[in-house]
Amino acid sequence: MRILRVSKKAEAELVDIITSLSDFSQNAATKLYGAVIDKYDRLLEWPFMGPVCDHIKPGWRFFSVDGTYLIFYRVTDEVVEILHVVHGMRDLVRLYMYDD
């Protein structure tokens, strides 16, 4: 069985998103945080359900949260690794061009 690993970068990105959103609506921030954690659980249960996005990085997959945010991750035999959590309107290719 695979384990879930969340990168420090993904943790920091999620904190930034939730903090920014809470400036406008604490309720919306709480809902989004819960939705992201729910998606983490789903990805651990069904790791290949997110489509591949080799055009951004080979081996990466993504999954949408509330149609606005994206979770980028990769899957190995032992781990589902959450790499990034970002707003979907960002220039994703440029953002992760040099990311390992």
pLDDT given at position 75: 97
d(CA 100, CA 89): 21
Q: 92 is written with which tokens?
A: 């994703």
Q: Which residues form the domain of 53?
A: 3-95
pLDDT tens digit sequence for 51-68: 999 888 899 999 999 889
Q: Please report whether residue 32 resides in a domain.
A: yes
Q: Using the 8-state DSSP alphabet, how is residue 51 labeled?
A: P
pLDDT given at position 50: 96
Checking 15-22 for CB contacts under 8 A at 24+ apart, the result is 17/69, 17/85, 17/86, 17/87
Total tally of structural domains belonging to the chain: 1
pLDDT given at position 55: 84
Q: What is the pTM of this model?
A: 0.88
pLDDT given at position 99: 57
Give 67's contacts (C-beta < 8 A, 6+ positions apart).
Answer: 88
Q: Please report whether residue 56 resides in a domain.
A: yes
The enclosing domain of 46 has a CATH number of: 3.30.2310.20
Low-confidence ranges of the chain (pLDDT < 50): none
